[in-house]
Amino acid sequence: MHKMPDPSGLSEEQLKEIAATLKRIREGLECADRLVASEPSHVFAPKIQDAI
C-alpha cells in the first residue's frame, strides 16, 4: 500500500527532522512541569512581554 504524501510537500528526510525537533521540544516542556507549577502565565522576562 502506498503511503499518502504529507500535505506540506516536504520530503521524508525533512519530515524526520521536524519529528525529531518536535519530540525534543515536547520532552523538554514535559520535564518542566515542576518548574512552572507556581508560575503565573502572564509573567515573562522583563521587557520581552512588551514585544509579544
Partner 1 sequence: MSPIDGVPIAIKDNYLTEDYPTTACSGALPLERQGQDATIVANLRKAGAVIFAKTNMHEWAYGATNSTSSFGATRNPCNPGRITGGSSGGSGAAVAAGIVAAALGSDTGGSIRIPSSACGVYGFKPSYGRASRHGVLPLSWSLDAPGPITAALDDIIHLMPFICGDDRNDPATFHSPAFGQIGLVDRPRLINLVGEGLERSDDVDAGVLSALRRSGADVAHRGLDGMSAYFAAWEAILHCEASSYHAELLARNPSGFTALTRAHLEAGTRISGVELLKAQRIRGQLTRQLNGLGDRDALVLPTLPVVAPRIGDDWQSFGGRQVTTQDSMTWFCWLGNLAGLPCISIPCGRSPEGLPIGMMLMGRHGQDEHLLAVARWMDRRINADA
Residue 2 or 34 having the CB closest to partner 1: 34
Residue 1 or 33 having the CB closest to partner 1: 33
- C-beta of 2: minimal distance to partner 1 in Å? 22
CA–CA separation, 47 and 52 (whole Å) = 10
Which residues contribute to the site for partner 1 (CB under 8 A)? 8-11, 13-15, 17-18, 21-22, 24-29, 31-32, 35-36, 39-41, 43-48, 50-52
CA–CA separation, 26 and 20 (whole Å) = 10
CA–CA separation, 7 and 35 (whole Å) = 36
